[in-house]
Amino acid sequence: MRNHSVKLGTRGSPLALCQAGLVTEELRRRWPDLEVTIVPIKTSGDKFLDVALSQVGGKGLFVKEIEEALLDNRIDLAVHSMKDLPAELAPGLRVGPVMRREDPLDALIARNGLRFTDLPHGARIGTSSLRRQVQLLHRRPDLQIVPLRGNVQTRLNKLETLNLEAVVLAAAGLIRLGLQDRITERLQPGVCLPAIGQGALAIEIREDDQRTAERVETLDHRETRQATMAERAFLRRLGGSCVTPIAAFGQLEGETLVLTGMVAGLDGKRLLRQTVVGEAGAPEQVGQTLADRLLSMGAGEIIREVNAQLSEKRG
């Protein structure tokens, strides 16, 4: 294949640029003569930092402008935190390689170094995620959830400026930014299931761009792809959005895929959770099976109620 250059689109936050740098390093390692240009793109999600994502349309706002740049041939590939990718992509685009997953769990950063169970009654916890909110409230209804937006460092700073007891962020982002020493506790899946695709980097490409597809295919990590494809199939089957309180976490044990999923109401009181075991080679089927099981338990009703409540809040 001829040597050529590629333009890599990404959000412009410190974490997004760090992640784009990781992909660039891997591409240059595999293709030493390849010229990679990082193109930062400001997304709608970066423009509404004072409003909860659930009130402005959800995490899909973090990819819209980047997908437009891909479709317009202004960039050749895009790097996303997989948890930001909507269940359905824009027509003409597809998920290419999925890179090896970093720590998929959520991390508690507590001001006084306390673990989750030791936080004082009524503690103020900062999080930008309805998924985290409902699971934390399910365990600890006494907690006060404080909405939190902004990049990683901004949210860490709000521990002090908003007088919070703790904030909850993705462990992967903290690790990639070299801030893992700030983690007080990694919240285990039994306490807080991570977001769908959390910790994984997805490379989005045009369906008809075979040249770029061949360039990037060596970045794919099979086990991560299988686990996250099951998680995304679960989300698609439920018809949830990136902000609906839905979570799923897949783990491979040899050629077996263990997938746990959760759906909850906004107050965390009603929470459905199930685990299914299937073949790692059929991740979509495993995800759909888990979704069907939760739907049979009433997940559809919960999702409709949540969507109605969120629509009402958006006014």
**Tally of helices (H runs) and strands (E runs) in the chain:** 11, 13
Query: Is 192 contained in some domain?
Result: no
Quick: pLDDT tens for 244-300: 899 999 999 999 999 999 999 999 999 999 999 999 999 999 999 999 999 999 999
The answer to whether residues 116 and 88 belong to one domain is no
Categorize the per-residue pLDDT at 1 as very low, low, confident or very high, splitting at 50, 70 and 90: very low
Q: What is the CATH number of the domain that holds 88?
A: 3.40.190.10
Query: Is 92 contained in some domain?
Result: yes
The answer to whether residues 226 and 301 belong to one domain is yes
Using CA atoms, how far apart are residues 102 and 300, in angstroms rounded to an integer?
Answer: 31
The answer to whether residues 85 and 211 belong to one domain is yes
Mean pLDDT of all residues in the chain?
Answer: 91
Q: How many structural domains does the chain have?
A: 3
The residues, any chain, with a CB within 8 Å of residue 86's CB and separated by 6 or more, are 58, 59, 60, 63, 241, 242
What does residue 173 show for φ and ψ, rounded to 5 degrees? -65, -40
Pairing of strands 201-206, 185-187: unpaired
The answer to whether residues 226 and 313 belong to one domain is yes
State what percent of residues in the chain have pLDDT above 70.
92
84 is catalytic: yes
Active-site residue among 84, 103, 106, 209? 84
Query: Is 194 contained in some domain?
Result: no
The answer to whether residues 141 and 179 belong to one domain is yes
Q: Is pLDDT at 67 greater than 80 in this prediction?
A: yes
Quick: pLDDT tens for 127-151: 989 999 999 999 999 999 999 988 8
Categorize the per-residue pLDDT at 61 as very low, low, confident or very high, splitting at 50, 70 and 90: low
Query: Is 66 contained in some domain?
Result: yes
Angle between helices 222-238 and 299-314 (to 10 degrees): 80
The answer to whether residues 88 and 2 belong to one domain is yes
Quick: pLDDT tens for 163-201: 999 999 999 999 999 999 999 999 999 999 999 999 999
User: Is 128 within 8 Å of 83 (Cβ atoms)?
Assistant: no
Categorize the per-residue pLDDT at 48 as very low, low, confident or very high, splitting at 50, 70 and 90: low
Using CA atoms, how far apart are residues 55 and 45, in angstroms rounded to an integer?
Answer: 11
Query: Is 195 contained in some domain?
Result: no
* Selection from 101, 125, 106 nearest residue 185 by Cα: 106
Residue 71's domain comprises 1-99+200-220
The answer to whether residues 80 and 110 belong to one domain is no
Using CA atoms, how far apart are residues 23 and 116, in angstroms rounded to an integer?
Answer: 34
The answer to whether residues 214 and 225 belong to one domain is no
The answer to whether residues 32 and 93 belong to one domain is yes
* Selection from 271, 275, 278 nearest residue 298 by Cα: 271
The answer to whether residues 18 and 83 belong to one domain is yes
The answer to whether residues 242 and 299 belong to one domain is yes
What pLDDT score does 212 carry? 94
